[in-house]
Amino acid sequence: MKLVKRLALVALIALSLAALGAGWAYNALTKPMNLTEATQFDVERGASIIKLGNQLSEMGWIEHPILARLAYQLNPQLVPKVGKYEIQPGTNLMEALTLFDAGETIFYPVTLLEGHTFREYLKTMQAKGNIEMTLLELTDKQIAEKLGLEQDSPEGMLFANTFRYHDGDTDLDILRQSNQLLQATLDELWANKVKGLPYKTPYEALIMASIIEKETGVAAERPLIARVFISRLEKGMRLQTDPTVIYGMGDRYQGNITRADLRRPTPYNTYQINGLPPTPIANVGKEAIHAALNPGETKALYFVAKGDGSHVFSNTLVEHNAAVAKFQRFQRRKDYTSTPTN
């Protein structure tokens, strides 16, 4: 009987010690790490839970690296993912390791603006400093191929918006997001367009949207400008819009357009060509596409910039020339937006 009592006592002591050990382990793993403010932490390629424990201990975030080993023994399925993480004050070791396992790395925003070209988008991404640039040395056609486009140029095939990316993502990753959103938006708006438009394909509507985008930043004017250009196309009139001329000039454009520039033939000079230019001249947002596919109601065939961002619309060439004399006097400054002339 005494032996049985002794064995029971030993078992009770062992269970008590195990309970104490489990309690200590639980408290240690769920105790907030030594952080007073949100701090970024890099998980490098090949890092294990054990290695991360050593790092966190050396940084003074946890008391001893053995805690990470214990966490791994309790959760052997944990596999840290490479990336930059933001750890908030109050986070415990178990929560941090779970965060690393889930790969919930920091997202960064990059804004691709309406009216910018895709080359300007590349510069925007390069300026962020943590996007891997893989496209800078490629030709337009090579970039279009990487994006899986039917066209030979990515111009206009990117959607203007703010996109989220992880540290180390590539420019191609972000442009793919942009292109996918553009395709989805264009498909939706094309399916709900008004009848009787002169576009044969959604791509032609996108070309028109890019011209509208470059012509005005005033939201209420976009549908009116769309109608002016559509009416001119229907009447066989040339578009005669300066943004297309500027795009066709490329690096030759230094802030001013001369009459010689208007006479110089390029595939984009809508003073010299009939119909639309061969590609969009910029990337756009939803509003410009919507305007191209849902034009407003006006009999105007002309418009001229007033100098404050808005335009004066005219039904006849006589009215238009009077507006030009009042507001522009044919001065094509750097901030000038176009006006049809005949």
List alpha helices for 82-163, DSSP H: 93-102, 118-128, 140-146
Torsion angle, CA of 173/178/184/188, rounded to 10 degrees?
180
Confidence class of residue 66 from pLDDT cuts 50, 70 and 90?
Answer: confident
Residue 252 corresponds to which tokens in the numbers above?
């030759």
The pLDDT tens digits of the residues spanning 160-196 come to 999 999 988 999 999 999 999 999 999 999 999 999 9
Q: What is the pLDDT of residue 3?
A: 46
Of 22-31, 287-296, 329-338, the least confident? 329-338
Give span(s): CATH 3.30.1490.480, the chain: 32-105
Taking 70 as the threshold, does the pLDDT of residue 331 lie above it? no
Q: What is the pLDDT of residue 6?
A: 47
93 C-beta neighbours (distance < 10 Å), count: 23
CA-closest candidate to residue 128, choices 159, 87, 161, 169: 169
Integer Cα distance of 292 and 290 in angstroms: 5
If you average pLDDT over residues 136-153, what whole number do you get?
96
If you average pLDDT over residues 134-159, what whole number do you get?
96
Counted residue by residue, the chain has a size of 342
Q: What is the pLDDT of residue 339?
A: 58
In whole numbers, what is the pLDDT of the chain averaged over residues?
87
Taking 50 as the threshold, does the pLDDT of residue 51 lie above it? yes
Residue 301 corresponds to which tokens in the numbers above?
């065939």
Class of domain 32-105: alpha beta
Confidence class of residue 239 from pLDDT cuts 50, 70 and 90?
Answer: very high
The pLDDT tens digits of the residues spanning 245-291 come to 999 999 898 888 888 999 999 999 999 999 999 999 999 999 999 99
3-class secondary structure, 106 = coil
Confidence (pTM):
0.79
155, 117 in Cβ contact below 8 A? yes
